[in-house]
Structure 1
Amino acid sequence: MKTLRSFLLAGAALMAAGSAFAADLPIAGNLAPAPVSVASPIRSTAVDWTGFSVGAQGGFGWSRFEGGPFLQTAWSLAPLRKPDADGGFGGINLQAYYQFPTNIVIGAALEANFAGIEKTHTNGFGDTTKSKVDRFGFLSAKLGYAYESFLPYIQAGVAYERQETATQIAGFVASGKQDQWGYTIGAGVDYLLTPNVVLGIGYRYADFGKKSNARLGDSFGNELHLIQASAGYKF
């Protein structure tokens, strides 16, 4: 009997201990959801090229002069080299950009320059020939693809220049000056240094053909090859 009572007391004590342990366990229906960490939104670093800019450019250019039959004959007889020229230039530009969601960018550019692209050749006997381009400009459409702050592009449009030439042989002078129109193509890369500062480098080609000049009594024209750098403020 004593043994049975001791067994019952031990069993009751074990059950009480088990109940206390079970009370400390979490109930499945009352489990609190684990905290969920929410990632903070990542701020977009995309660059929007849409807008307008005004700026300045400068560089170096080469003029490949072309003369008509009179000038070519005179240069051969003298003899004289045809007056290909080179020199610096600088000016201002206005540009417009529109960026599509696909990162394709279209735009327009107006560039106006004053130049000192000129050269005089002599044959050592006092005979000379020279050419000069003192101003030129372009109105072009642009097409590019934006890689964040970089915008490589191509462009094409209308070109203008003022050119003059003079050839002097044995005291006889033939000269002419004229405004000329042609076409231009080019390519380059613009870079958005800040949301408002645009830097750029580019190449421009322009062909003006040969135009007749009444004063000279012949035709002349040229091609321009230009390397330039630019800086502007974007709105």
Structure 2
Amino acid sequence: MIKTVLLASIAAIAISTTTLAADADFAAPEAPLAPVEETPGFSWAGGYAGAHTGYGFGDASIDRFGSASVDGARLGGFAGYNWQFSNGFVVGLEGDLNYDWNDGKLAGVNVEGGLNGSGRIRAGYAFDRALIFAAGGVAATEFKAFDPCFSDEGTAIGWTVGGGVDFAVTDRIFTRLEYRYNDFGSTKVAGADVDFNQHVVNVGFGVKF
């Protein structure tokens, strides 16, 4: 009888120990998850450079001769630097140098644009990889007039204003679509006052440093 009671007690203790161990395993706390690192957003801050092409729709007014359309393709390059703030606001400085194959004819005189460039202040807002901007500053261009009997040229200095959008295709490469209005003011060519203004559409790409 005593032997039976001892065996029963041992069996009960073994069953209780096993149950407690199973409960302890089940209630064991899970290992903490590793912290998730946040991917930093894209930034437009820093230097950049690129190239663009486009088309210019110009209008030249020559004293005593009237006005003429001076249109044509263009090719150029640009470089600049951006500062970006935590609220997404972006400001920057940019310069560009271009050559315009603009030409027209007024009263038998050929008129052409040529080498031109600008220095501009830019301001805009970044929507992650898209940067919408406006820009304005100083612009200058060569202007030529010639016919079979004479040739002369001058440099006109004025202002430029416009806007566009840059879009980052990768962390370093971006594309650009831009509109500008250039008012180059007046210059003397062959003794006559020449006023030249221009609407320009540019497309291009750039590389961030």
- Shorter-chain TM range is 0.7 to 0.9
Q: Which runs of 5+ in 1 are unaligned?
A: 6-10, 73-81, 122-126
Structure-1-length-normalised TM-score:
0.74
The correspondence of residues 167-206 of structure 1 with structure 2, limited to 5 A, is: 176-206=152-182
2:118 maps to which of 115, 138, 157? 138
Is residue 2:193 matched to residue 1:219? yes
| Aligned counterpart, 1:50 | 45
Distance in 2, matches of 1:87 and 1:214, equals 20
2:62 maps to which of 67, 72, 95? 67
The SS at the match of 1:194 is coil
The SS at the match of 1:107 is strand
Is residue 2:11 matched to residue 1:26? no
User: Which entry has the higher C-alpha Rg, 1 or 2?
Assistant: 1
Distance of aligned partners of 1:187 and 1:214 in 2 relative to their CA distance in 1, 3 Å threshold: closer
Offset of 1:108 from its aligned partner?
Answer: 1.1
The CA deviation string for residues 44-84 of structure 1, in whole angstroms up to 9 with x for no partner, is 1511211111221111101112233x223xxxxxxxxx321
Distance in 2, matches of 1:144 and 1:206, equals 20
- Native 8 Å contact 1:83 1:130 kept in 2: no
The correspondence of residues 93-172 of structure 1 with structure 2, limited to 5 A, is: 93-120=78-105, 128-165=108-145
- Native 8 Å contact 2:51 2:77 kept in 1: yes
Measured on the aligned residues, the alpha-carbon RMSD in Å equals 3.2
- Native 8 Å contact 1:118 1:133 kept in 2: yes
Distance in 2, matches of 1:175 and 1:40, equals 73
The SS at the match of 1:84 is strand
What one-letter code is carried by the residue in structure 2 that aligns with 1:131?
V
What one-letter code is carried by the residue in structure 1 that aligns with 2:195?
G
- Native 8 Å contact 1:63 1:84 kept in 2: yes
Distance in 1, matches of 2:112 and 2:39, equals 51
- Native 8 Å contact 1:56 1:91 kept in 2: yes
The SS at the match of 2:178 is strand
Offset of 1:16 from its aligned partner?
Answer: 7.7
Is residue 2:189 matched to residue 1:231? no
Offset of 1:165 from its aligned partner?
Answer: 3.4
Distance of aligned partners of 1:228 and 1:196 in 2 relative to their CA distance in 1, 3 Å threshold: same
Distance in 1, matches of 2:184 and 2:114, equals 15
Aligned length: 207
Distance in 2, matches of 1:144 and 1:33, equals 55
| Aligned counterpart, 2:30 | 35
Offset of 1:35 from its aligned partner?
Answer: 0.7
Q: Which runs of 5+ in 2 are unaligned?
A: none
The SS at the match of 1:210 is strand
- Native 8 Å contact 2:145 2:190 kept in 1: no
The correspondence of residues 6-21 of structure 1 with structure 2, limited to 5 A, is: 21=15
What one-letter code is carried by the residue in structure 1 that aligns with 2:184?
F
